[in-house]
Amino acid sequence: MTRIFQTGVREEYFNLLAPVEEKDKGNDRMNSIMQLLRSHRSIREFTDQPVADDLINEIIRCGQSAATSSNLQATTVIRIRKDATRREIARVAGDQQYVVTAGAFLVFCADLHRSAIACEKQGGEFAPGMTEHFIIATVDVALFAQNCAIAAESMGLGICYIGGIRNDPQQICELLDLPDQVYPVFGFCLGYPSQEPEIKPRLPLSVVLKEELYDGENDAPGIEAYDEKLAAYYRTRTGGTKESCWTVEMKNLVGKESRPHMRGFLKSRGFGMK
């Protein structure tokens, strides 16, 4: 009989989780689930092994179990099997080849179409273009997908989110025949890893966790230390070819306009900014 652990994880899944590291043994605040969460790294190289349909279904069910604003359940996932479609999506995403080579590829969509129909079924009139609806639908998708990511990783799969599909979201809508009030938030590669990348370090806890009030006074030394750590990570990962650090990456990210077409695109999908 399958045992269900206190965490709700079935025994056979639990056994596949990363073992608790030596240094964390005896630390009763760490368990295998936390260890798994701490061992995440995006995977961009995959073996040819396909991902079984029933495993994907289980992973998606885990996504469905995520919390969802007012039970809105605004996520629709589209699995892309056709090579030609995957190739086109890879191209839109800036020639990210793992979109094609991953064992499976999914597109996560924020979907208010379904709830609009439900509203109309009950004699209501859908209120289009509400910023609040845009936020809750997008948050729903992120929570759903991250549950999928954890479920997949617990089964020995690797994942990589693909925000690159928003380079040309209109093209993705056309390829996937998305109705109004649905927009593609990101793609998602999953498959069996054929690489063992290092874990990317994160900001120090003191920078991200505050007590009572937002106090950024003492963040600078933590960020400086993190810059050095991330620079070392990039050097090792790229054999010395990438010289960068977190603040440089942030300059590149938020120091210029980013996908300025998104506002108009979202408006055209019925996700305006009212």
Ligand X SMILES: Cc1cc2nc3c(=O)[nH]c(=O)nc-3n(C[C@H](O)[C@H](O)[C@H](O)COP(=O)(O)O)c2cc1C
CA-closest candidate to residue 161, choices 150, 145, 173, 174: 145
Residue 162 makes contact with ligand X by CB under 6 A? yes
Alpha-helical segments (H) within the chain: 11-14, 32-38, 53-64, 83-92, 98-101, 113-121, 131-154, 169-176, 205-208, 219-237, 246-254, 262-268
Residue 77 makes contact with ligand X by CB under 6 A? no
CA-closest candidate to residue 118, choices 126, 130, 110: 126
Candidate segments 69-77, 124-132, 155-163, 209-217, binder of ligand X by CB under 6 A: 155-163
CA-closest candidate to residue 39, choices 51, 28, 60, 24: 24
Q: From CA 20, how far away is CA 236, in angstroms rounded?
A: 25
> Are the C-beta atoms of residues 147 and 237 closer than 8 Å to each other?
no
Minimum CB separation from ligand X for residue 200, in Å? 4
The helix/strand/coil state of 230 is: helix
Minimum CB distance to ligand X smaller for 167 or for 268: 167
Minimum CB separation from ligand X for residue 127, in Å? 27
Beta strand 158-162 with 182-191 is: antiparallel
Minimum CB distance to ligand X smaller for 14 or for 161: 161
Q: List Cα–Cα distances, 191 to 5, 131, 157, 194, in angstroms.
A: 26, 35, 5, 9
Using CB under 6 A as the binding rule, the residues of this chain from 90 to 119 that contact ligand X are 93, 96
The helix/strand/coil state of 190 is: strand
Residue 192 makes contact with ligand X by CB under 6 A? no
Using CB under 6 A as the binding rule, the residues of this chain from 44 to 63 that contact ligand X are 44
Near ligand X by CB under 6 A: residue from 183, 186, 233, 234: 186
Residue 229 makes contact with ligand X by CB under 6 A? no
Q: How many residues does the chain have?
A: 274
Residue 65 makes contact with ligand X by CB under 6 A? no
> Are the C-beta atoms of residues 173 and 266 closer than 8 Å to each other?
no
- Token pair for residue 55? 């495993």
Minimum CB separation from ligand X for residue 262, in Å? 13
Minimum CB distance to ligand X smaller for 200 or for 242: 200
Minimum CB separation from ligand X for residue 33, in Å? 17
Near ligand X by CB under 6 A: residue from 200, 210, 237, 259: 200
Candidate segments 24-32, 39-47, 74-82, 211-219, binder of ligand X by CB under 6 A: 39-47
Near ligand X by CB under 6 A: residue from 63, 103, 164, 169: 164
Residue 41 makes contact with ligand X by CB under 6 A? yes
Near ligand X by CB under 6 A: residue from 45, 60, 69, 161: 161
Minimum CB separation from ligand X for residue 163, in Å? 3
Applying CB under 6 A, the residues found at the interface with ligand X are 40-42, 44, 93, 96, 160-164, 186, 200
